Homo-oligomer: A and B are copies of this chain.
Amino acid sequence: MQVSEAEWTDTEKTIARTAFDQAYGREIEALLKQVRADASTLVELSDLWRLHDFLSAKRHQVEGKYDYQYAALPFVFAGLVKDGWLHLQELEGLSKDKLAKINSLANM
Contact = CB atoms under 8 A, between A and B. Distances in A.
| A contact residues, range | 20 to 34
Interface string A32-52: 100110111011110111011
Contact of A56 (B28, B35, B40, B52): B52
A101 interface: no
Contacts of A49: 55, 59
Contacts of A100: none
Interface in A14-36: 28, 31-32, 35-36
Contact of A45 (B28, B38, B42, B52): B28
Interface of A: 28, 31-32, 35-36, 38-40, 42-45, 47-49, 51-52, 55-56, 59, 62
29 contacts: A28-B45, A31-B45, A31-B48, A32-B42, A32-B43, A32-B44, A32-B45, A32-B47, A32-B48, A35-B39, A35-B42, A35-B48, A35-B51, A36-B39, A36-B40, A36-B42, A39-B39, A39-B40, A40-B40, A45-B62, A48-B55, A49-B55, A49-B59, A51-B55, A52-B52, A52-B56, A52-B59, A55-B55, A56-B56
